[in-house]
Every structure is written in structure tokens, then in C-alpha cells.
Structure 1
Amino acid sequence: MLTDVSARLSPGPAPSGSAAKRPYDDAPDCASAFARLAELSEGPERDLIRDELVQSWLPMAYRIAGRFRDRGESVEDLRQVAALGLVKAVDRFDPVRGAFESYAVPTITGEIKRHFRDRMWALRVPRRVQELRNKVRVARRELSQLPGSPEPTTAEIAAHAGLSEDEVGDGMEAMESFSTLSLDAELSSGEDGYSLADTLGAADSTFDTVVDREAAKRGLSRLPERERAILYMRFFEGMTQNRIADQLGISQMHVSRLITNSCARVRAEALDDEARRQAPEGPTQTT
């Protein structure tokens, strides 16, 4: 969509009334065209004047976009965003409130800044932290602009930007959030190098065992003592059903039935407990 807008609004000849220039060469005098635009209702004539105004002011939008170069976004994309901001400015401008450039410049600049805030961050961070990042970046640049200047310390940046050292730390961390590192990127140049993916943890399967034991604890406590002993011998001591049967003086088939029935009862109680925990509370009765 941005490409279509930029192509349709490519610079073209300015309206006949734009001969007189403002302080900037890319700020034509279109007061009469804006006045005429405000008088017209939707239709072909209004669309024509609107497009001519956009074309006339597009160089100014491109100049504003150029201020944001070298910040990780291509100039072409910045110009497309600036063109959209210019279209919004033309559509919303009220000629009785002053000069168009006084309204268009902050509108276009704000559109570009929103683009950086909403589209360019690899990780979503709070707006407060984004603002800290910008203050830290500007302070570092100003402190390092002299040739041979050493890298400023956190304390120097904090004093220059009027921030605390903790805020500078947050801003420095946010500077790393603007771009991402591949999980396959090597973190060590030695023979035993490893990637970022190698440092990530994995889910511990024993957590499920802990959860299952806690869920079964209540049901096990309600079983008869002999059935608890059979389950303990079978699942904790690893005894076979035949060995359990010999030790208790009963048949192996009886041991099998007891294990099956006991497990079913424990499972049913665990499911009932879970259902009760997840059930919504009923309305509170009042008297």
C-alpha cells in the first residue's frame, strides 16, 4: 500500500499559484488552493486539487524523511511513510488556522516517529523505555562527537541527559532491542563455539511428575492400607505382580484387579478435584 501511495504521489508540476516560495524552496505558496479545497465537497475537482497539493509539498515531506536516515530504515520506506503523513496533513488542514507548513511539519514528523515506534522494534518495549533509548542515544552521540573522544561512561551520559544511572541502563538495554540476533548465531569464536539456541533452556519433564504426584496424593490417602501397600510395592519398589501376590498370600489375578481398581479410583478423585477447582463460584446469597 505504501508503494502504491508513493508511486501515485510522485513529484509532479506544482500548481500555477506556487510561483512565490516560502522560506524553504520546497514550501510552495498554495494558500489559494487550500482555500478552494476547503470550499469544495467530494468530487473530481476536489480530488484534482488535493492531488496537486500533495505533489507540490512532497519534496518537503522527503526532506523531513531525510532527517531520519541511518536509523535502520531505508530512505525509500521513510519517504513512503512521510508521503502518508503529508496526505493526512492535506486532508486535515484548516486554512483559517495559519500556514500549512506549520501544521504539516509536525504531522509528517509524528507519522515517521510512530513508524519507528510501532514497526521498527524487534521486541516490543514500553514507550517510556523507547524514550529513554532516544535520550541515551542522543547523549552518547553528543558526548562522542569530538574526534578522539573516549566512550562516555554511564555517569557521564546520565549527567548529560538529566537521567539516573538506572534509567541510562534501561535505555542502553533498549538499544539492543531494536534488532534481533539469530538463534543460530555463534556466541564464541573458539573451537568449542556455541550458538544462542544452545543457551536456551528446555521444559523439564519431571515437573509433570511432581504435578501428577500432588494430584494423586489425596486419592491415595483414601485407599485401604493394603491397596496403598500394593501400589507402593508395584510402582515405587518395582516389584512384579507375582512377587506381590506371593508376599501377600493372594493370587496374581487378585493383585492385578486391586491395582486396576485402585488406580481408577485415584484418577477419578484427581479429576473431580480439578473440576471443582476450575468450576466458577456461584452467586453470593444475600439476606
Structure 2
Amino acid sequence: MSKTTHPRTYEHAEPLFAHWALTDPRSPEHSALRAQIIEVCLPLAEHIARKYAGRGEIFDDLLQTARLGMVMAVDRYDVTTGSPFLGFAVPTIMGEVRRHFRDHIWPLHVPRREKELQGKVRAATEELSRRLQRSPTAQELATELDVPVTDIARTLVAANAFQTRSLDTPARDNDGDPGMTVAETFGAEDPHYRLTEDTITVAPLVAQLSSEEQQLLIWRFYDTLTQGEIAERLGVSQMSVSRKLTRLLGDLRTQAADQPVPAA
């Protein structure tokens, strides 16, 4: 079968994988199809690498890392699951790029426990991504590693400590030319940031909540589910979820305000 029979874009690569799966792994056709699939998917690796450009790493290094992740995704993808290749490849490639940053750049102080747990979280994320054909939630990672979900959250937050830049640093476009400063690229403040900040501020109080209340906060502010999606999971109305969240956050703010201020 000629190469032109199959789509030549990574968005519709499944027919190529289906053909590849039917060939003898020892045959020249098998090797040729693998090379063709990798060629078709190379633009996906470049697209993801560019999303991480301008963060202190040389673009060629990011591109090489993204391509390595793409080859890993090609070799690990199982077309018989019926899931789209993109749904598996994107988190696999992004995971490799993020690993590159985590392994090479740590300008902010990160506790040793978070660094050690991060390796386990990374491996569990890859395994669950293959198993679930999507990125795992914090709760799923916590269950897989048998650790509290709060440890997973702290570890994932620590992963963002790999790089810092001044807000006055000129951002660069896709061609590498300087443009606006980092501060000028920021959009309007999302109103949900304040709610998330409130939740983080009262973290010690959150630990004292019931498991049901903690799960509600995790769904809303970590898994970023909408109130409607949470309502479907709980079998209640969206208005009921809204009232529960409003009451819960109000109670947490009140308790936080009553906490004594530590001596300087």
C-alpha cells in the first residue's frame, strides 16, 4: 500500500497506525511505516515545543526533547483502544518537555520531599496517561501512589518553580524576535484566581474539613470542573453546588480572619 493512501497529518494518523499494526514487525514495510508516522507527527512536536519557548531554554533543545517524546508516543500508542492518537501523544510529549525543565532548571527553593515525590508523580502520570488515554487527575495520582492528595498538589505546584523571569523581560515571538514585555502579554485577571488564592491561604483549615468538603474544593479548584459538572457527579442541582461552595469559602475566610497573627 502506498504512503499516499493514508492521511498525512497528525490529526488523522489512526489509519497509518492501523496499517502499521497489521504488518510483520520484522518486515521492511513495518520499519517504513514507523518512519512515515514519525515524519507525519513531527509538526506536532514542534508545535508543543514552541509553547514552551522563551522560558530560559534553547529552542533547539526543547524541540529535540519534544521529538523524543513524540517518538515515545508513537511507539507506545495502541490503536486498538479506539482512542485518538492526539489524546495520547500530547500529554506524553508535554510530559517529556516538562521533565526537561524540571531536570535542568530549579532557580526557586523546592523542598527535597517535593523533588523526590515529583519523580514518582512523573512516572505515575505517564503510566496513568497510557492506561486512561488522558491526563490523570490529582486524586487519581494520589490513589496510584498511595499518598494524600495534598502532597500531590504541593508537588505539582513545586514543578512550576523551575524558571523565573522579570516582568520587564521582552517576550519573543515564534521567530525569536523580541516583542512586548512579559507583563504586557498578561490578560485581564480571572475572577477565579481570587477564589483559588483564598483556598491556598487557608490550607491548614482545609485539612480539617470533611472528606466530602475537601473533594468539592478539589473538583472545583484543582480539577477545574464547572459547577454543572460537579452537580452531575453529585446528583444535585448546579444551584445547590453554588450554595455549598459559597458557604464553604465564606466559612474558611471567616476562620482565617479569626486566626491569631504570628509574632514577627
Instruction: Name whichever structure is richer in helix by fraction.
Output: 2
Asked if Structure 1 and Structure 2 have the same fold, meaning a TM-score greater than 0.5 normalized by the shorter chain, the answer is no
TM-score normalised over the length of structure 2: 0.43
Bigger relative contact order (CA 8 A; separation at least 6): 2
TM-score normalised over the length of structure 1: 0.40
